Structure 1
Amino acid sequence: MVELRVLGSDDWPLWRELRLAALAEAPAAFGSKLADWQGEGDREDRWRGRLEIPGSHNVVALLDGEPVGMASGLPMDGGDAVELISMWVSPRARGRGVGDGLILEIERWALRRRAATLRLSVMPGNDAAAALYGRHGFKDTGEPGDLLEDGAGREVVMAKALD
């Protein structure tokens, strides 16, 4: 059974565990790198700070009590859009509805905030994630996303109008 849990800053060890696992398992899926969050970057105040971003909604998914996924919703500067970030599901939990549950939870949060649009960015070539987002009504906006580390490609920006 999949259970979703909203985190506060005291839950930073759980967020840390999942985020490090995500960056290790799927390094090409994120703008952040594992090395950025290790060594001197692996500090309690930094992890807490990530969970204390004003207006954020940070969620983990538990499958049979084990942490297997994560996602965050963040308000965007100006306007009435919010953003889905840091989405990841452990390979052992993929195909079991975990990703669907995380997306729906962030969407519910966005609706409670009266957001009109939920946006996200996905790395080019991450077809499984793009397909999951597409099943939830996200469409490629055609806007240029953040520049990739190689300096040539860009993230794909997707958005969904909220009703």
Structure 2
Amino acid sequence: MDTDAAHVYQMWMSPRARGYGLSKLLLNSIIDWAKKSNRKVVCLEVTIVNEAAVNLYKSIGFVAAGETQTLREGSALLTQTMILELCG
């Protein structure tokens, strides 16, 4: 197990709760925890058709890493790994 990385496996916000900045608050809390836990990077995967999520992650500083992959066998959906390198 990679102890230098913190992983966000799934994040979903109820449609009624969207648009209030709650996702950004949650991600910033995860990032703060990762820093305090001496992690060097935060990793996640996002379905690339979810532009709102991709844009959220980019606005925080996540960048695409590697090639896109299918969500699961037989799926037409593609996912992209994104990482945020932590400084200090």
Q: TM-score, normalised by structure 2?
A: 0.85
| Larger Rg belongs to | 1
Paired with 2:13 and 2:76, the residues of 1 have a C-alpha distance of 27
RMSD value, Cα: 1.8
Q: Secondary structure at the match of 2:48?
A: coil
Query: Which residue of structure 1 lines up, in the alignment, with residue 16 of structure 2?
Result: 92
Aligned to 1:114: 38
Is contact 1:116-1:162 (8 Å) kept?
yes
Distance (Å, rounded) in 2 between the aligned partners of 1:127 and 1:144: 15
Shift of the 99–110 alpha-carbon distance from structure 1 to 2, 3 Å rule, reads same
The match for 2:28 is 104
Q: Which has the higher helix share?
A: 1
Q: Would you say how many aligned residue pairs link Structure 1 and Structure 2?
A: 87
Alpha-carbon displacement from aligned partner over 1:122-163 (angstroms, at most 9, x marks no partner):
012011100000000001112454642425554210001011
* Structure 2 gaps, min length 5: none
- Percent identical pairs in the alignment equals 36
Amino acid at match of 1:88: W
Q: Which has the higher contact order (CA 8 A, sep 6+)?
A: 2
Distance 2:76 2:14 in 1: 29
Which structure carries more strand by proportion?
Answer: 1
Aligned partner letter, 1:115:
R
- Cα deviation digits, residues 54-92 of structure 1 (max 9, x gap): xxxxxxxxxxxxxxxxxxxxxxx2251111122111111
TM-score (norm 1): 0.48
Q: What does residue range 44-63 of structure 1 map to in structure 2 within 5 Å? A: none
The 10-residue stretch of structure 1 (108-117 or 137-146) with the greater mean CA deviation from structure 2 = 137-146
